[in-house]
Amino acid sequence: MPQHNPIRGRFAPTPSGKMHIGNAMTALLGWLQIRSEQGEFILRIEDIDQQRSRPELAQGIVHDLKWLGLDWDEGPDRGGPHSPYNQAERHALYKEALSKLNAADLLYPCYCSRADITAAASAPHGIASEGRRYPGTCRYLAQAEIKHRERIKKPSLRFKVPDETITFTDGIAGEQSHRPAEGGDFVVRRADGIISYQLAVVVDDALMGITHVLRGMDLLDSTPRQLLLYQALGYHPPQFVHTPLIADAEGKRLAKRSRGLSLSFLRGQGIIPERIVGWIAWAAGLIDRPELVTPSDLVPHYHIASIPRTVIRLTEEARQLLLEPDNNPL
C-alpha cells in the first residue's frame, strides 16, 4: 500500500491585538478542516513586524486557543521539525528567498514614499488591503539614478509582476481569475528591512509543508501575488479556502479592537468556551442552532459546503445569543 503524507494546515495570527470572535472562527474552521482529514495542524506566530507585535499578546493567543479546546502538532510552545515557529526568528530564510528572487532579476529597488504613490496621476486603487496601485516609477531607473537615490534614502524592494492572468480554485469562492499586474509591482522588503507579509507567508507555508491554507476572505486578493512568488521560488502552492468575515450589524468588519468581542472579555463575563465554539459553529453553518460543544464534537460536522459564501452579520439577535446566555438558554 502506498504511503500518503497527511495534509497540513496552520493558524498564523499576528500578535498586534487580542483575539476576537472572528479570529476564533478562522482558527476553529482551520482546525476542523485538518482534523476531519486526520491531518497535522501548526500554530505559527506572524510577528515579523516587531513594532506592531507584542510578546504578551502572542502568549494571550496561545492561551485563548487552548482555552477554546484547540490543539496543534507543531508550534512555538512545543517546537517541531520546521522550527522556529515565530516569524521574528526566521529572517535568514527570508533573506535566502530574496537572494533567489534577485538572482532571477525579479526585484528592483524602490525609493517612492506613500505620498509619492498617492500623488502619481496614474495610481488608481490596487488590491483592497494595500490602497493605491504602484505606478512603476522606479522599475526602469538607470543605474546612475539608482546610485544617486541610494545616497538619499534606503529603498524598499519590489517584485516585478508579469502581465499575465493567474487562475486558481478557492474552496469557497470557487474559480478565480486575476491579473496581478493591475495591482502593480508589490513590496517584498520594506525600506526599514522588514519582510513583507506576501513574501514571509509564502516562504513559511512552503518550508513548513503546508498543503491547505484556510484564512479570511479579506486575503483572497493577496492570493494571486502569492502564487507568483510560489512560482518564482519553485514552491508547490497549497490549496486555498477563504472564509467569510464576521461583520457588525451595519456590515463593518470586526477589528481586533472590537469592544466586548475579544475572547478575554467573553471569558471574563463567565462565558464558557463550549458556548463560544457552539456559537461559531452555528454562525458558520455547521450546526442548526447554538449549543454547547467542543471542537472535537464538531469534527464529524465539518463540511466546507456548509460554510456561508457571504459576510456573516453579527445582528443584535446573534450578539445576544453570544453575550447574554442567561436570557437565551441554549
What pLDDT digit, counting tens, does each position of 37-48 carry?
999 999 999 999
**Residue 224 pLDDT > 90, yes or no?**
yes
**57-71, 101-115, 123-137, 294-308: segment of lowest average pLDDT:** 123-137
How far apart are the C-alpha atoms of 200 and 101, rounded to whole Å? Answer: 13
H-only helix segments in 120-272: 143-150, 197-207, 223-233, 263-268
Q: Which of 157, 165, 166, 183 is nearest to 105 (CA)?
A: 157
pLDDT at 231: 98
Q: What is the mean pLDDT of the chain?
A: 91
Q: Which of 254, 198, 257, 215 is nearest to 48 (CA)?
A: 198
How far apart are the C-alpha atoms of 323 and 269, rounded to whole Å? Answer: 8
Per annotation, catalytic residue among 18, 154, 252, 256: 256
Task: Classify strands 186-189 and 107-110 as parallel, antiparallel or unpaired.
Answer: unpaired
pLDDT at 86: 98
What pLDDT digit, counting tens, does each position of 20-30 carry?
999 999 999 99
**146-160, 196-210, 212-226, 282-296: segment of lowest average pLDDT:** 146-160
Q: Is 252 a known active-site residue?
A: no
Kindly state the cell numbers that stand for 207. 518550508
**What is the identity of the amino acid at 127?**
I
What pLDDT digit, counting tens, does each position of 228-262 carry?
999 999 999 999 999 999 988 777 777 655 555 89
How far apart are the C-alpha atoms of 225 and 221, rounded to whole Å? Answer: 8
Domains, the chain, with CATH or none: 13-89+244-327 (3.40.50.620), 91-200 (3.90.800.10)
Kindly state the cell numbers that stand for 110. 524602490
